[in-house]
Amino acid sequence: MIPDVQLIKQGAEARVYLGPFCQRQAIIKERFAKAYRHPTLDKKLTSRRVIQEARCLYRCQKALIDTPTVYLVDLDQSVIYMEYIPGISVRDYLVTEPGQEAEAQHRVAVAIGKALGAMHNIDVIHGDLTTSNLLMRETSGAVVLIDFGLSYVSQLIEDKAVDLYVLERAFVSTHPNTEVMFAQILEAYGESSKASKQILKKLEDVRLRGRKRSMLG
Amino acid sequence: MESYPIEVVPNAGDVHMACFISVKNAPDLKERLQAQDKSLTFAMVESNLIMDVVQLLVAATRAAKDNDTKKLSTQSLSSEIIYNLSPTKNIAESLKRFGITEDTTSLIAVKIGGDPIEVMEDMSKTVDGILVSFSKLDQEKDIKRLRQYYKIDPKVTEDKDILNWIIGAMAMKNVQ
Ligand SMILES: Nc1ncnc2c1ncn2[C@@H]1O[C@H](COP(=O)(O)OP(=O)(O)OP(=O)(O)O)[C@@H](O)[C@H]1O
Ligand SMILES: [Mg+2]
């Protein structure tokens, strides 16, 4: 691996580093093998995930959605080198600055809703929407979508609704008293995406199912 | 000349790059390229298709990496650098677009590895032109052709966004 790199996150499927790359600071995301999977099968699956992640990032970039630029895809090592976005996650923003001005929070919510609407418009399903996977640029405060490790392309309203539901659960479980903010996200989402009305309707079904499931335990 | 490390493949040596304008011997250089003259040890890139040094560094990094794993798509490390600048897999077209032509008057010489002093000597001996700093690049770039070749969305207008678009397109050519 590259000298002068700093490990940012050691996950279950990937290690994320920050390090120099072509005169820039880059995020280096390395997927590694899972011990319990067959080596050749694992290599194939890992490779497919890396390709999928890079493709979804690129699909977003081409649709002018603020996402990290892919710099290099190394399929041999299962590594993606990508643009480093200086800033903080929406999670840290909400945790460390509780009770921000309602106006500031509203701006962030609108930015998130718009970004998600644009992403679903090009049929990218994020697959892991949490407040850690939404960054805010240090310079402009613009919201950047990251971590497309579980992303895929689908036109299904159901898939888009579930994507939103995952984010809603993340909000509820990590950020108390953010119902207003989440409602603002959905409002902005509803205005920016074509099929959004249907998707938001579907979200209600998904919620209902979720509730039934949790009642069954 | 400027030299930069290749972080991904540190043992490949540095990338050395020199920018020349008022080049007078392009027909001769082109002929030597076509004859696969082994004494030409560096790549020559049409400088009007270069937005930024980073674009060249990414192409060189990828070439060094693929050379390291014996997975070059073209015949040499030099042609691979040029090929990597292109967003398409068509080798002939890529080399034609991003390499020099008989009419080239400004070019960038790029070499991976080697002693910087020797590389610089070799480049200035081979290219009959005026060595300039990379800050001159700005005046050279042909934004219309860049937009055409990389299919840049007309709504992308800021230099840094254009550059990121270009790098993304280069990076994705082996995963499309
Ligand atoms: N492009 C980026 N710019 C800045 N920080 C980033 C970037 N990508 C990732 N990070 C930081 O690294 C952390 C982990 O990255 P990421 O979410 O992609 O990996 P992960 O959660 O391990 O992935 P996966 O869910 O695919 O296993 C992020 O939460 C963020 O703090
Ligand atoms: Mg993550």
Give domain limits for chain A. Answer: 6-83, 87-216
- In Å, what is the CA distance from B51 to each residue of A63, A183, B93, B134, B135? 21, 43, 20, 11, 11
**Which has the closest alpha carbon to A49: A7, A1, A14?**
A14
Contacts of B113 (CB under 8 A, 6+ apart): B12, B13, B14
Cβ–Cβ < 8 Å for A122, A59: yes
Q: What angle do CA A124, B152, B17 make, to 5 degrees?
A: 115
Phi and psi torsions of B20, nearest 5°: -120, 140
Question: What pLDDT does B103 receive?
Answer: 96
- Average predicted confidence (pLDDT) for chain A: 92
Q: Give me the residue from B4, B53, B172 closest to A58, CB to CB.
A: B172
With a CB-CB cutoff of 8 Å, which residues 79-108 of chain A face chain B? 81, 83
- pLDDT tens per residue across all 176 residues of chain B: 999 999 999 999 999 999 999 999 999 999 999 999 999 999 999 999 999 999 999 999 999 999 999 999 999 999 999 999 999 999 999 999 999 999 999 999 999 999 999 999 999 999 999 999 988 777 788 999 999 999 999 999 999 999 999 999 999 998 97
Distance A147 CA to ligand 1 centre (A): 5
| Ion ligand 2: residue ranges with CB closer than 5 A | A 133, 147
Rg (CA), chain A: 18
Ligand 1 pocket list (CB less than 6 A):
A 8-9, 11, 13-14, 16, 27, 29, 68, 82-85, 89, 128, 132-133, 135, 146-147, 149
Best to test chain B binding among A22, A25, A74 (most B CBs inside 10 Å): A22
- The total of other beta-carbon atoms located within 10 Å of residue B47's CB is 26
Q: What is the position in ligand 1's atom list of the atom closest to the CA of A86? A: 4
Least confident span in A22-26, A37-41, B78-82, B112-116: A37-41
Looking at ligand 1, which atom is closest to the CA of residue A148?
Answer: 26
- Say whether A22 and B156 touch across the interface (CB within 8 A): no
Residue of B nearest to A23 (CA): B54
Q: B77 C-alpha to center of ligand 2: Å?
A: 37
DSSP symbol at B49: G
Helices (H), A68-138: 90-96, 102-121
| Tokens matching residue A84 | 């480093």
Asked which of A9-18, A142-151, A205-214, B104-113 is least confident by mean pLDDT, the reply is A205-214
CB A111 within 8 A of CB A181: no
Name the residue of chain A whose CA is nearest to B153's CA.
A62
Residue A217 clears pLDDT 60, i.e. is over it: no
Size of interface A-B (CB pairs under 8 A): 70
> Quick check: A121 pLDDT over 60?
yes
In a mutational test of the A interface, the residue from B2, B7, B17 whose CB has the highest number of chain A CBs within 10 Å is B7
Burial label, B158 (beta-carbon count in 10 A; 0-12, 13-18, 19+) = exposed
Both tokens assigned to A15: 């290690």
Nearest to A133, CA basis, from A188, A70, A68:
A68
The closest ligand to the CA of A84 turns out to be: 1
User: Does B61 sit within 8 Å of A21, measured CB to CB?
Assistant: yes
Distance from the B2 Cα atom to the nearest Cα atom in chain A, whole angstroms: 12
Q: CA-to-CA distance for B161 and A72, rounded, in angstroms? A: 17
What value does the mean pLDDT take over residues A147-174? 96
Identify the pLDDT of residue B69.
95
Q: How many residues does chain B have?
A: 176
Distance of alpha carbon A159 from alpha carbon B95, whole angstroms = 43
Helix, strand and coil percent figures for chain A, each rounded to 5: 50, 20, 30
Rounded to two decimals, the ipTM of the complex is 0.96
Instruction: Show the tokens assigned to A112.
Output: 């998130």
CATH code assigned to A87-216:
1.10.510.10
Q: How confident is the model at residue A34 (pLDDT cuts 50, 70, 90)?
A: confident
**Which pTM does this prediction carry?**
0.95
Per DSSP bridges, beta strands A152-153 and A124-125 are antiparallel
Position A216 scores a pLDDT of: 67
Rounded CA separation B54/B163 (Å): 9
Rg (CA), chain B: 15
At residue B61, the pLDDT reads 98
Domains and CATH numbers, chain B: 2-172 (3.30.2380.10)
Q: Nearest-CA neighbor of B69 among B9, B2, B155?
A: B9
pLDDT at A97: 66
Residue A98 clears pLDDT 80, i.e. is over it:
no
CATH architecture of A6-83: 2-Layer Sandwich (3.30)
The helix or strand, by DSSP H or E, that contains position B17, with its residue range, turns out to be strand B15-21
